[in-house]
Amino acid sequence: MNKAIFLDRDGVINVERGEYTFRPEDFTIEKGVKEALEILKEKGYTTVVITNQAGIAKAIYTKEDVEACHAKMHEQLPGLIDDVFYAPYYPPLSESLGRKPGSLLFERALALYHVDPQQSWMVGDNDRDLVPARKLGMHTIGIGVAEKFPSADACVSSLLEAVTNVIMK
């Protein structure tokens, strides 16, 4: 069985702008993300991004827009992200167990990459990101103030801090 790091996108990988990020020119990688991912890859972790993209269901942007941002992410983080799963749904317009806090996308990734959840982590900037990981037996880290994450294993200010001060300890 493999170990993995599951990552939310906006606010963990790229800068959270307070509005939808769907244009590549607005997609800016957070400080320290490349270094954090390099450490994780060196330590044998599979790296998977799982992100809700409700703007697709709301017709604010398209799947092609999301994929263009992901292409930029892969270009700037070459070989550091193994896969990206996204949920293009938004209740009540469309429903899906893949949308966090649902666990379907996590379950798909666990099966596809033969991942042991007990050796794995989820890092998110919203408690909704952590709910499915906890349900599946993973460790969880919130990025932000502890009050936002009532049952996270740890809270830190960045992905790099999560990797160096929590995951690698």
Q: Is residue 1 part of a domain?
A: no
Number of domains in the chain: 1
29, part of any domain? yes
Question: Does residue 142 sit within a domain?
Answer: yes
The reply to whether 46 falls in a domain is: yes
* Contact status, residue 101 vs residue 132, Cβ threshold 8 Å: yes
Distances (CA, A) of 97 to 25, 89, 108, 114: 31, 10, 11, 21
pLDDT at position 87, please?
95
Q: What is the CATH number of the domain that holds 143?
A: 3.40.50.1000
154 falls within a domain? yes
Residue 2 lies in a domain: no
The model's pTM is: 0.95
Q: H helices within 87-126, ranges in order?
A: 104-112
Give the model confidence (pLDDT) of 94-127 as tens digits: 778 888 999 999 999 999 999 999 999 999 999 9
Positions marked catalytic: 8, 10
Measured between alpha carbons, how far is 84 from 166 in angstroms, rounded to an integer?
23
Instruction: Please report the sign of the dihedral spanned by the C-alpha atoms of residue 164, residue 139, residue 96, residue 144.
Output: negative
Could you list the residue range(s) of the whole structural domain that residue 117 is in?
Answer: 8-167
Domain membership of residue 3 (yes or no) is no
User: Whole-angstrom Cα distance, residue 134 to residue 136?
Assistant: 5
Residue 135, domain member (yes or no):
yes
Instruction: Please give the average pLDDT of every successive group of 10 residues along the chain, which has 169 residues.
Output: 97 96 98 98 98 96 98 98 95 83 96 98 96 97 94 96 96
